[in-house]
Amino acid sequence: MASVACGRDERARRRSERVGAAGVLAAAALPVVLWHAVIADIARITTSARTSEAVLGWTPWVMMALGVLCAVPVAIDRRRSRGGRFHTAGAGAWTGWGVTLYLLGFGLATQVAQLHSLST
């Protein structure tokens, strides 16, 4: 049986999945690239007795990680068959929560990094 060439819609769907996966990976890597020194100092503070500073210091990165993790249900929803038995109406709420958490965490991380630069 000869392989059937993919249609334009199928190629566009695959391309959008690849772009989405690359975007999620970039969103996960960006905070580490931008603020690796700040993250290392917060990890150092975590091992000392100042737990309140450590908890507040980790908050932006936890928010961004949760935002990236919200992409998992979206990806699962995209992979399911549209006519399948377990297909749901969509994952728009997951997308909204993911973007909101990530952007709020990113803004807070920017402020934490600015405070870190003042203290060093």
Helix axes 92-119, 71-79, angle to 10 degrees: 150
Q: What is the value of pTM for the model shown? A: 0.79
Whether 2 is in a domain gets the answer no
The answer to whether residues 36 and 29 touch, using CB atoms and an 8 Å cutoff, is no
Q: Which residues contact 8 (CB under 8 A, 6 or more apart)?
A: none
The answer to whether residues 84 and 60 touch, using CB atoms and an 8 Å cutoff, is no
Whether 103 is in a domain gets the answer yes
Whether 5 is in a domain gets the answer no
Whether 73 is in a domain gets the answer yes
Whether 3 is in a domain gets the answer no
Using one digit for the tens of pLDDT, what is the confidence trace for 16-60?
888 988 999 999 999 999 999 998 888 887 777 566 666 778 899
Q: How far apart are CA 105 and CA 64, in angstroms?
A: 5
Q: What is the structure's pLDDT at 2? A: 47
What is the domain range of residue 34?
10-119
Domain count, the chain: 1
Closest to 101 in 3D by CA, of 68, 54, 55:
68
Using one digit for the tens of pLDDT, what is the confidence trace for 58-81?
899 999 999 999 998 888 877 776
Whether 77 is in a domain gets the answer yes
Using one digit for the tens of pLDDT, what is the confidence trace for 1-13?
445 567 888 888 8
